[in-house]
Structure 1
Amino acid sequence: MYQRTDREYNEVDFSRKDLTDGELRNCTFTKCRFQGAQLDECWTTNCRFIACDFSGAAFNASIHTGSAFTNCRFVGASLFVAKFEECKMVGTDFADARFDGITMQGGDWSYTNLRHVNLTKQQLNGVKFVEADLSESNLQKTDLREADLTRASLSKASLSGCDLRGAKLDGIDFKLVDVTGVHMDSEQAVLFARSFGAK
């Protein structure tokens, strides 16, 4: 196991490195490459990853608390049973990433690419998804209470059986979403009716 605290890295190439079972605290990584790196079971606390490339990296069973991954690439990365607690993920691309068993507690996932992801039965209450792309994602039976989905793209997403009570849904086009069995509050029901032309 390794530990790094208060370090700064700029444009360093960690591609295909074995970085498993490590602990990073208050470190900053700017434009670093982690392509195909092994980061299984690593811990990050209050770290900042800015415009880093994690394409094809493995984050299985990793834990991240208060860290920021902004404008990063996780294309094809494995996030199996990874945990992100109050993390800032703004502008990050998760195309083809594996989300099985992921835990997302709070945090800001605005402007992220989450197309086609499987978030079935996840506890996503309170998470910010402002203008996130959740097109064709599977959100069946997901807890989205108090989440912020303002202007998020939910085209062809499945929300069947999910709980949206208290969530912000401004700018959502419900005509493009499967809402079978969705739990809504009265304010959301009005938004839903208006999207179909009701007055």
Structure 2
Amino acid sequence: MYQYTDEVYEEVDFSHSDKRDGELQHCTFKRCKFRGTSLEEIQTIGCSFIECDFRDAALNASIHQESAFMNCQFSGANLFVAKFINCKMTGSDFTHAQMDGITISKGDWSYTNLRHLNFSKQDLRGIRLVEADLYGCNLEKSDLRGADLTSVQLASSKLHGVDFRGAILDGIDFRSLELKGVRMDIVHGAAFLRALGAKVE
């Protein structure tokens, strides 16, 4: 096991290297490449990854606490049973990433590309997902209570059994969604009726 603390790396290429089972504390990585890198079971605490490339990287069973992954590429990455605890993921792209069994505890996932991913039965309470792209996602029976879903893209997503109570749903086009079996607040119900053209008094 290795440990890095307070290190700064800029435009370093770690691609296809073995970085498994390490601990990174308060490190900064700017525009670094981790393409195809083995990062299984690593732990990051308070780290910043800015515009880094994790395409096809293996992050299985990794744990991230209060770290930031801003405008990073995770296309094709394996995040099976990874944990993100109060992390900032804004602007990152998870196209075709493997995210089964992932744990997301709070944090900011705004402006992320999460298209077609499987979040069924996930506990997503309190997460910030402003303008995130969740097109075609499986969200069945997920718990989104208290989440900020302002202007999130939910078209073609599976929503049966989703719990939206206490969530912010401003800017969502309810007319394009299949809401059968969804749990909502009275406030959400009024917004839904307004979207259909009804006058709610």
Amino acid at match of 1:134: L
Does 1:151 find its partner at 2:156? Answer: no
Paired-residue identity, %: 58
Q: Distance in 2 between matches of 1:176 and 1:99?
A: 26
User: Deviation digits for residues 137-181 of structure 1, max 9, x if unmatched?
Assistant: 110000000000000111111111010000000000112222110
Other-structure match for 2:136? 136
Amino acid at match of 1:138: N
User: Deviation digits for residues 71-106 of structure 1, max 9, x if unmatched?
Assistant: 000001011000000000000000000110000000
Aligned-pair distance for 1:23? 0.2
Other-structure match for 2:15? 15
Other-structure match for 1:67? 67
Partner SS for 2:4: strand
Partner SS for 1:104: strand
Q: Distance in 1 between matches of 2:76 and 2:52?
A: 14
Other-structure match for 1:162? 162
Other-structure match for 2:31? 31
Does 1:80 find its partner at 2:83? Answer: no
5+ residue gaps, structure 1, are none
Q: Distance in 1 between matches of 2:114 and 2:71?
A: 13
Aligned-pair distance for 1:40? 0.5
Amino acid at match of 2:77: A
Q: Distance in 1 between matches of 2:147 and 2:39?
A: 29
CA-atom RMSD, angstroms? 0.5
Aligned-pair distance for 1:4? 0.2
User: Deviation digits for residues 19-61 of structure 1, max 9, x if unmatched?
Assistant: 1100000000000000000111000000000000000001100
Q: Scaled by the length of structure 2, what TM-score is found? A: 0.98
Partner SS for 1:169: coil
Q: Scaled by the length of structure 1, what TM-score is found? A: 0.99
Runs of 4+ with >6 A deviation: none
Amino acid at match of 2:114: L
Partner SS for 1:3: strand
